[in-house]
Structure 1
Amino acid sequence: VGSSGRVFPLGFRATELLRSWLVDLETLGVSLQTGHRWLGWDQVTGALLVAVEEKNSDPIQPQQLFPDITIMSLGGGSWQRTGSDGRWVPKFEEIGINVRELRPANSGFLVNWSAEFISKFEGMPVKNVSVQARGNPVPGETVLGETDLGETVRGEMMISAQGIEGGCVYTVGRELRAACDAQGNTVMLIDLRPDLSVEQVEQRLSTAKPKESTSTLLRRTIGLPAVAIGLLREVTKNVLPRQASDMAVLIKSLPLQVVATEELDRAISTAGGVAFEELDDRFMLRRLPGVFVAGEMIDWEAPTGGYLLQATLSTAVAAANGALSWWEEEHPTEM
């Protein structure tokens, strides 16, 4: 059990869990047919078209399947090498099902770092900060107006070659993504010292010694690490405020401009998917009786930390129960 209360396998790998699940499924009589790809529905017969897919070759002639009940859990669009490639989307759209665009969720964001900054700080964590998604800054102003798009989230973020990532970034990612979509870019406010008030920061910075450099002052008085000082210089283009009061405000609300999400395939999870209005309360497609959907292919998103798995498993249970309920209604004498 980790410090956050989350439960992890001793080896920090999911292999043992996967093996255990596979054994349980085999005990229940489940037949697993791997290496297959669903190609859509036959337009004449309505059959499921499924083909064996071999590496480095085209799928063979598809089989037509006529199951009594179909539960689809085809995933989102991130991490394509695992099979979650979103190729099911056009098949749904072809028959008129509304699928919201698949977008990166729990993803990093792109920042136009300078080459000098990346050469020094790529891969370094910025610890114990709080972040908040906000709208675009007013040109020439350091402090932003009341255009708050989301809550303040505390945690750690990582400097990547492309931008920023990490738990607190993922948590405000939905608001950042929406703002980038609407405006082309947005601002994430970073509080580099969330345990101190702006007045406390100003008071400590006011103890500058003669000939003391700004970097030394920031390290000595408020314990800023090199990467945080580098962020201050990067955002201000190395023109740092001279007054302690102005520097304190900047440290408590550093406006970092982000320009877009990282590409979909690098995201931990996916937003978008089958719109909920296409489903009844049993997770069955209204247009296709007997066909149910579950997991990340539905239009929802959740934070990391077990919530994604929980939502996926919960929708699977709901779809399975819905399938049983529907079958009982359609075939009352067969149950």
Structure 2
Amino acid sequence: MSLALVIGGGPAGLMAAERLAETGARVIVAEAKPSVARKLLMAGKSGLNLTKEEPFDRFLAAYAEAAPPLRPMLEAFGPQAVRDWVEGLGQDVFAGSTGRVFPKAMKASPLVRAWLARLAGLGVEIKPRWRWIGGAYRFDTPQGIQEVTPDVVVLACGGASWARLGSDGAWTALLEDVPLAPFQPANVGFRVAWSAHMRAHFGAPVKGVALIAGSVRSRGEVVISAEGLEGGGIYAVARALREGAPLHLDLMPDVTQAEIARKLARGHGKASVSNHLRKALGLDPVKRALLMEGAPRPLPEHLAPLVKALPLRLEGPRPMDEAISVAGGVRFAALDSGLMLRARPGVFVAGEMIDWEAPTGGYLLNACFATGRWAGEHAARFLRESG
């Protein structure tokens, strides 16, 4: 029986292992951490967004320049396939009003347990605390140095964020012959040097706003933290911000500037500016605080343009290890259409190791599943054709 080695026990690696085992290969999954799927389980604490239901062209567009190479993989294992696969593991799913798909359990642990049971039934061997250290697939393990001689390999070692969960990027030192794009934080918060008056709002959500970064506009919630801005709204424009676009907030995205100006023109008598904004526009305390933070001093006479496009000065992204995901990794040019490394026949790559990025909202996990399954399928084909 052919031996397939999968390095990395995240969603991409486990999906590759499942597909290889289904084709009859003996599969070993080497995982550096004490257990598999640690990042998936962490993501599941906030609901586990599995995929996104929307027209396929719109879904694909979320992957930007990586869309063409990813297209066949996402066509083969797209949103409906993800739903079917999850339900096949006995986990019911539902789509929210925005099309985001979640397990009804709203956590990852039941899904992971069912998945591991399926893999065990297929004969997949999981080796925890096996850290790849190079050579001909040598591993540092609790039993000492172990060496594996596989017939095919799938690398699914993750990106370079959340190192404590396994994605530390250390594998880059073991692929010196492979073209790599530098890692950069994606889906990450941004630092803001807040004034003292903002301290009262640390931890507060900002709802019903639009974020504008260059040509990118996002409707989404953000959270004010002591360090800056966090949350899905800022993640959606993180790439544009990372590339140098300034950030503006539209505090009333459903109201025109002209209407805002009309309401503000009624005058506020002896009321403070903050109270006038509350009474005339209905701005909550957090939005009023942001407006005072971003407005120039002295306050301009006309505030309507600032309500619609409030500038916030950012001081760069949070550290890469705090990012939900990263850009960078193995360039698509280094891979063939089956995700095999051109420089290393019989070695395939999947998941966040590859140079692609996408916003949160189901796109990240779907592409990890899809690339893992694609790599597993083509690794199995390699075994058949070489055996």
Same fold (TM over 0.5): yes
- Which TM-score bucket, shorter chain as reference? 0.7 to 0.9
Moved over 4 A (4+): none
2:182 maps to which residue?
101
2:383 maps to which residue?
327
Unaligned runs of 5+ in 2: 1-93
2:132 maps to which residue?
38
Normalised by the length of structure 2, the TM-score is: 0.73
Q: CA separation in 2, counterparts of 1:261 and 1:222?
A: 32
Is residue 295–residue 311 contact of structure 2 (8 Å, CA) maintained in 1? no
**Structure 1 counterpart of 2:201, one-letter code:** F
1:294 maps to which residue?
350
Shift of 1:61: 4.2
**Structure 2 counterpart of 1:270, one-letter code:** V
**Structure 1 counterpart of 2:224, one-letter code:** I
**Structure 1 counterpart of 2:210, one-letter code:** S
Look up the SS of the partner of 2:175 in the other structure.
helix
Does 1:26 pair with 2:115? Answer: no
Q: CA separation in 2, counterparts of 1:3 and 1:120?
A: 32
Shift of 1:321: 1.6
**Structure 2 counterpart of 1:178, one-letter code:** E
Deviations 1:231-272 (A, max 9, x none): 111123653222xxx210111011112121111111111111
Is residue 294–residue 315 contact of structure 1 (8 Å, CA) maintained in 2? yes
Is residue 233–residue 239 contact of structure 1 (8 Å, CA) maintained in 2? no
**Quick one: percent identity of the two aligned structures?**
44
Shift of 1:50: 1.1
Q: CA separation in 1, counterparts of 2:298 and 2:144?
A: 65
Does 1:281 pair with 2:329? Answer: no
Is residue 101–residue 362 contact of structure 2 (8 Å, CA) maintained in 1? no
Q: CA separation in 2, counterparts of 1:166 and 1:194?
A: 18
Does 1:75 pair with 2:75? Answer: no
Q: CA separation in 2, counterparts of 1:111 and 1:22?
A: 42
2:139 maps to which residue?
50
When structure 1 is superposed on structure 2, of 212-221 and 188-197 the one drifting more is 212-221
Q: CA separation in 1, counterparts of 2:315 and 2:121?
A: 50
| Greater C-alpha Rg | 1
Shift of 1:65: 1.5
Shift of 1:330: 2.3
**Structure 2 counterpart of 1:32, one-letter code:** I
Q: CA separation in 1, counterparts of 2:209 and 2:331?
A: 36
Is residue 205–residue 221 contact of structure 2 (8 Å, CA) maintained in 1? yes
Shift of 1:64: 2.1
1:143 maps to which residue?
none
146, 158, 170: which is aligned to 2:223? 158
Shift of 1:194: 0.6
Does 1:191 pair with 2:246? Answer: no
Shift of 1:89: 1.1
Is residue 187–residue 360 contact of structure 2 (8 Å, CA) maintained in 1? yes
Q: CA separation in 1, counterparts of 2:105 and 2:266?
A: 49
**Structure 2 counterpart of 1:172, one-letter code:** V
Q: CA separation in 1, counterparts of 2:289 and 2:106?
A: 33
Normalised by the length of structure 1, the TM-score is: 0.84
104, 108, 115: which is aligned to 1:14? 108
Query: Number of residues paired by the alignment?
Result: 293
1:217 maps to which residue?
276
The root-mean-square deviation of aligned C-alpha atoms, in Å, is 1.5
1:125 maps to which residue?
205
